[in-house]
Amino acid sequence: MKIPKFLPLAALVAACLLPLFFPSCANTTEAPSGGKKDTIPPYIIDIKPLPGAVGVPLQGASFVFTFNEYVSIKTPANIFLSPPQNRIPKSRIRGHNLIVSFEEPLQPNTTYTLSFTDAIADTNEGNMFPGYTYVFSTGSQIDSMLITGTVLDCNTLAPVKGATVLLHKDHSDSALFKHRPYAAVKTDDWGYFVLPYIQDTLYRLYAIRDANPDNIYDPESETVAFIDSLIRPKMVSSDTLPEMLKYDMTDTVRCQARRSEYELKLFREKPSKQYIVKKVRTAERSAYLTFQAPGAWIDSLWIRGFRDDQVISQFNILQDSLELWVNSRRAAPDTMRIYVNYRKTDSLGRLAPTQEIVKLPMPADKRTFSKSSRRNLQHEDTICVYSLKAQPETVEQNGFELEFRNPIITAWFDSLDFRAINTRQRESKAEFTVEQDSLNLRRYILRPKDKLQPGFQYSMRVPYRIFRDINGFWSDSTVVRVSLPTDETLSVLELELSGVDRKIIVELLGEKRDRVLRSYVVDSDGSVRFPYLKEGRYSIRITDDGNRNSIVDTGSLLEHRQPETVVFLQLGGNSYLNIPPSTELVQPVNVGELFKQPAAR
């Protein structure tokens, strides 16, 4: 294998200084003078031994990096050795020197890289050293190959800074959980990574948010990303490669111009071990069980003292949380005994039939008619509790949302009174439909049949005693009024969807992409409309709902399943939509073509 050529010391210093003199770096082309603040980062003027050293001893090795000024270590963990050891490198400052050594032996015939990213700053002004990657070998040669890539968040497609990228020679699924990698590196501000000076062989490539940090994946607390297939490096390491240079992270043009061979999307994996993790008695006649992993497999369930038809149960959409209610007039037991026959993960990691008896005593403050609780009895403790909501911006899409605290056993929806008051204050009775939520038996959607009109006021009135819940309590009356927004500065965004060749979830997000404002589930061509938008920046996220369950699903490492594909609508090269005031925007979107293009971010 050919040993790569390394820069002589003078060229090394120039390489360290190179990022500081790019045109994008303000005030770095002149030395500080007079009383001006020093804005020039420190740089290396000497290294012992020189880069590319071979035959480095397995024990007692140390490296001295001499800077042009006094420096301090800001983040010791960012002095990163690859392949990593159990302990991070030991580093200390002596004068202008940074001295790095190791607390355990190095491996024989191994090429190592020692990288500095956001680790060193000058003592006086705190200017950060832009970074450097030093290479050495305990063998007779330096490995020469290179891999590059980018780590993104699977939901926002935002670059992930500080993710740990792991390269494994062990191709088994268990390697990431048990062993330190063959090579590792941290991503920069752009989520970009370079794994240089590696062997020419086949690898598994992963990325994690290493919370420990121990360079081993912990599914309970860390996110993960992976490449589906084995990979082999194609590029050769060179000090002159743009991908290996250190850039000012504000230099967008140069940072984005770097070649990225692989794209990894970090996701939060659902736990794989199945067992009951939480059990709570929420009231006299209700409880819930929470399972560690989604998709809980229950063979049978019963509550002691009650018939099967007296037990109401409901799983959430992920099937990892089960709500239970008892529909019976007999007194609730002091201790509710729930017999659960389900598939639990055994010591070998297999799902095995198990019976678990869950005993849930009734807390004194939960018993409605106990002597101690009567003194603190609230009105809502003796009625059928519900909420009725409607938002002006979303009432056309979502209608009126009626949700009960407990399942209802008596309901007269025909007694609901829906009325419209026009701009002349004339009131008329209006019609509506009732739809029970398929995922929540306590929730109902009340939708107006006719198109709602601007300037009209709409009211939904719930009369007294038309709903009765499993506790035998009747509902109070209430009324909710809503009108469509009339602010003339609000805007409308309409997407004309074509080429819909799959089931998709279309979501409107705010500028930070941390909250879904509105969403549609679509499986055919048509239009989706987002009215009443304030001036600002928004994003449209479209998810390929591969399993057609109407939610955005995460991935699975052991099942080799990536998270569902997400793309952001990109207009004019910008993935953010700038919505001006008082505007109606109509945007055609070819969904089939959108998923063929590189993901917009």
In a shared domain, residues 524 and 574: yes
Of 336, 366, 396, which residue sits at a domain end? Answer: 366
Residue 61 within any structural domain of the chain: yes
In a shared domain, residues 131 and 53: yes
Q: How many whole angstroms separate alpha carbon 443 and alpha carbon 434?
A: 10
Q: How many whole angstroms separate alpha carbon 394 and alpha carbon 400?
A: 9
Which whole number is the average pLDDT over 131-136?
94
Question: Domain count of the chain?
Answer: 5
In a shared domain, residues 333 and 408: no
Helix (H, G, I), strand (E, B) or coil at 78: helix
Which whole number is the average pLDDT over 129-148?
96
Q: Read off the pLDDT of residues 18-47 as tens digits, 9 standing for 90 and up.
A: 443 333 333 333 334 455 677 889 999 999
Residue 353 within any structural domain of the chain: yes
Q: Read off the pLDDT of residues 291-307 as tens digits, 9 standing for 90 and up.
A: 999 999 999 999 999 99
Instruction: State residue 66's pLDDT score.
Output: 97
Instruction: State residue 337's pLDDT score.
Output: 97
The DSSP-derived string for 87-142 is: SPPEEEEETTEEEEE-SSPPPTT-EEEEEESS-EEETTT-PBP--EEEEEESSSS-
* pTM greater than 0.85: no
Extended strands (E) in 375-490:
386-389, 400-404, 408-411, 417-421, 427-429, 432-436, 443-448, 457-462, 467-469, 478-483
Residue 311 within any structural domain of the chain: yes
Instruction: State residue 4's pLDDT score.
Output: 43
Residue 3 within any structural domain of the chain: no
Pairing of strands 408-411, 467-469: antiparallel
Q: Read off the pLDDT of residues 370-411 as tens digits, 9 standing for 90 and up.
A: 545 555 667 787 899 999 999 999 999 999 999 999 999 999
In a shared domain, residues 149 and 117: no
Q: Read off the pLDDT of residues 504-531 as tens digits, 9 standing for 90 and up.
A: 999 999 988 989 999 999 999 999 999 9
Q: How many whole angstroms separate alpha carbon 543 and alpha carbon 181?
A: 32
In a shared domain, residues 517 and 590: yes
Mean pLDDT score across all residues of the chain: 90
Instruction: State residue 1's pLDDT score.
Output: 38
In this predicted structure, the answer to whether residue 187 has a pLDDT above a threshold of 80 is yes
Of 483, 510, 536, which residue sits at a domain end? Answer: 483
Range of the domain at 505: 491-596
Pairing of strands 491-498, 584-590: parallel
Which whole number is the average pLDDT over 233-256?
93
Cis-peptide, bond into residue 392, ω within 30° of zero: no
In a shared domain, residues 13 and 126: yes
Q: Read off the pLDDT of residues 337-374 as tens digits, 9 standing for 90 and up.
A: 999 999 999 998 899 999 999 999 988 766 655 545 55
Phi, psi angles (nearest 5°) of residue 233: -65, 145
Residue 160 within any structural domain of the chain: yes
Instruction: State residue 31's pLDDT score.
Output: 39
Among the listed residues 145, 150, 163, the one whose alpha carbon sits nearest the alpha carbon of residue 232 = 145
Radius of gyration, alpha carbons of the chain: 31
DSSP 37: P
Q: How many whole angstroms separate alpha carbon 425 and alpha carbon 371?
A: 52
Evaluated on CA atoms 512, 131, 113, 57, the torsion sign reads negative
Q: Read off the pLDDT of residues 422-464 as tens digits, 9 standing for 90 and up.
A: 999 999 999 999 999 999 999 999 999 999 999 999 999 999 9
In this predicted structure, the answer to whether residue 108 has a pLDDT above a threshold of 80 is yes
Instruction: State residue 575's pLDDT score.
Output: 83
Q: Read off the pLDDT of residues 526-567 as tens digits, 9 standing for 90 and up.
A: 999 999 999 999 999 999 999 888 988 999 998 899 999 999
In a shared domain, residues 20 and 125: yes
Of 334, 366, 398, which residue sits at a domain end? Answer: 366
Phi, psi angles (nearest 5°) of residue 33: -140, 155
In this predicted structure, the answer to whether residue 250 has a pLDDT above a threshold of 60 is yes
Least reliable range by pLDDT among 118-127, 190-199, 364-373: 364-373
In a shared domain, residues 539 and 574: yes
| CATH number, residue 189 | 2.60.40.1120
Residue 34 within any structural domain of the chain: no
Structure tokens at 245: 């240079």
Instruction: State residue 596's pLDDT score.
Output: 85
In a shared domain, residues 114 and 13: yes
Helix (H, G, I), strand (E, B) or coil at 527: strand
Share of the chain above pLDDT 70, in %: 91
In a shared domain, residues 522 and 467: no
Residue 375 within any structural domain of the chain: no
Q: How many whole angstroms separate alpha carbon 341 and alpha carbon 325?
A: 18
Residue 595: its H or E element: helix 591-596
Share of the chain above pLDDT 90, in %: 79
In a shared domain, residues 231 and 281: no
In a shared domain, residues 208 and 233: yes
| CATH number, residue 353 | 2.60.40.1220
Residue 255 within any structural domain of the chain: yes
Least reliable range by pLDDT among 10-24, 476-490, 535-549: 10-24
